[in-house]
Amino acid sequence: MVWQEDVYVIAMVTNLSEGGTIKCAKYWPDNTGDKIKIDIFGIQLDSEKTYSSFLIHQLQLTNLKTKASRQITHLQYTSWPDHGTPDPLELLMYHQYVTKAMRKHPENKLLVHCSAGIGRTGTFIALDALYRHGIKEGSINIVEYVHTMREDRMNIIQNLDQYKFLYRALYESFRATIHPFSKEKFIDEVKSVLSSDNTVNLSNLRIQFKELDSLKPVFQENEKSSGFENMTLNMTGSVLPADRIRIILSSHVKGRGTYYNAAPVSTFTMRDCVITGQYPVPGAAVDLIRLLVDQECSTLISTSPLSEVPSSIEWFYPSPRGNMIFQYRVQIDEGVKITDYVIKSTIRIKASAASDWQDVTLYEMNTWHTNDKLPLEYRPILDVVSLLHLNENVDAENKIAVLSRDGSSRCGEFCAVYNAIQQLQQDQEVDMFTIVRQLQRRRPEMISVFEEFMFSCQTVSQFIEQNPDEVNINYNHALVGENIYANA
């Protein structure tokens, strides 16, 4: 069918299996460079890119009889929950990439499929068609369009939740547009804000931040009930996680509850693999240890020197014998100054009932002092990002925990820079607007003032200028303690 109908782009909106049920047979090879043969067709996987909620495969489809070949862009959305609906912003980002792929083949048909071909497929087709119609004409009629679709395919858009989701997704799509910049354009935008002879109020980045400020969600008190019920465990009462998003501690410790002021966020390439949390309040160090164990964190990032954090004395002090914190033995080695701005340590944790130790690499930004609203240098964040890219495997089983005073400030700047650099490496462009918007969906307090937004942009701009020929990290900063250079 793909060959016959001259299809060049496939939007697949299902996983191969969900809930133990096979949803779709895999019709492309497993590994880059591999080939499979299906009847008279050969299919080769030329490349694969991983994003937080979807994959992009470049497939070479060859008719073995005629020897003719065709390049197929295959985009698989992987975050549509079984018996549910996805996050609107995540699906809109996926839709943006599908649209970008279709621009190369505007005269050809787009193939959309899920499992049955009516539920998710219909929802995505309606989103695509109505969005394009709305941008062109200024108005849409969802009821009429869905009725027209059902004349061609019965029961398309299968249930009420999918129909309601279509409204939400279209609402979000018309509220704001995507703002990707090339490397060169992004640097120019940052310089235009910093230039004294430019009208700052008219800069694109300032306009973007004002738009972000109007779009970020506001969680009501009843949506943060756990935070209010555990107010003594919060560093501040103004930054509380939403109940439906917060991390729930699962390991049992006598006298302790399930609450910790922490929330998951995604990187550009991996879903929910970063935990943004506050430092534990005095007397609650065991909750931080539980967080690291429960969430299988392999990396911990402190955005402040731990010597300036009052509660750190309860859990962070190097000792060869270790320290017992409730049922956990915690050992910490002597820190090594990896760069002028970062100290590296290893935390080893072992529950009394466990047979193995859990090792957590700690990166401590030792120059971003607690009284500094923003770092005096860009290097602390860039150094840690470089160390993560070179030394750490970040995925669902090796998560990163990032700590600050309230779990929002500093964490937001770090995550924004980290995600932007990943986007640069993946797509050779950066969209700080969408990156920050997605972070604020989990933590609305992140990057709450323009200075924080600009610092994040300036840090990314510095990274690009230090890597003019390629955005892949080629780390040659003066290092102490170990060699972490990699031509990567």
Structure tokens at 200: 């700052």
* Residue 193, helix vs strand vs coil: helix
How confident is the model at residue 95, as a pLDDT?
A: 97
Is 53 a domain residue? yes
Is the same domain home to 42 and 139? yes
- CA 13/CA 157 separation, integer angstroms: 13
Strand segments, DSSP code E, in 15-137 are 17-18, 21-22, 35-38, 41-50, 54-63, 69-77, 110-113
Which of 156, 175, 194 terminates a domain? The answer is 175
Specify the CATH number for the domain of residue 354. 3.90.190.10
- CA 37/CA 26 separation, integer angstroms: 13
Which of 175, 191, 223 terminates a domain? The answer is 175
Is 332 a domain residue? yes
Phi, psi for 215 (deg, rounded to 5): -100, -20
* For the chain, the helix, strand and coil percentages under 3-state DSSP, each to the nearest 5: 35, 20, 40
How confident is the model at residue 479, as a pLDDT?
A: 45
Is the same domain home to 362 and 215? yes
Render the burial of 149-167: b for 16+ CB within 10 Å, e for the rest.
beeeeeebbbeeebbebbe
pLDDT (tens digit per residue) in 448-482: 999 999 999 999 999 999 977 655 544 444 444 44
How confident is the model at residue 469, as a pLDDT?
A: 65
pTM of the predicted model, to two decimals? 0.92
Q: How far is CA 21 from CA 18, 58, 78, in A?
A: 5, 26, 15
Is 230 a domain residue? yes
Is the same domain home to 246 and 380? yes
- CA 458/CA 423 separation, integer angstroms: 16
Per the residue annotation, which of 114, 273, 297, 457 is the catalytic one? 114
Is 182 a domain residue? no
Contact (Cβ atoms closer than 8 angstroms) between residue 191 and residue 205: no
How confident is the model at residue 396, as a pLDDT?
A: 72
pLDDT (tens digit per residue) in 406-427: 999 999 999 999 999 999 999 9
How confident is the model at residue 485, as a pLDDT?
A: 44
Contact (Cβ atoms closer than 8 angstroms) between residue 116 and residue 24: no
Active site residue 114: yes
Is the same domain home to 166 and 206? no
How many other β-carbons are positioned within 10 Å of the β-carbon of residue 117?
A: 13
How confident is the model at residue 31, as a pLDDT?
A: 96
How confident is the model at residue 483, as a pLDDT?
A: 46
Residue 344 sits in which domain range?
202-466
Report residues of the chain scoring pLDDT below 50.
Answer: 473-488
Structure tokens at 381: 């964040």
If one counts the domains in the chain, the total is 2
| Beta-sheet pairing, 54-63 with 41-50 | antiparallel
How confident is the model at residue 327, as a pLDDT?
A: 94
Is 458 a domain residue? yes
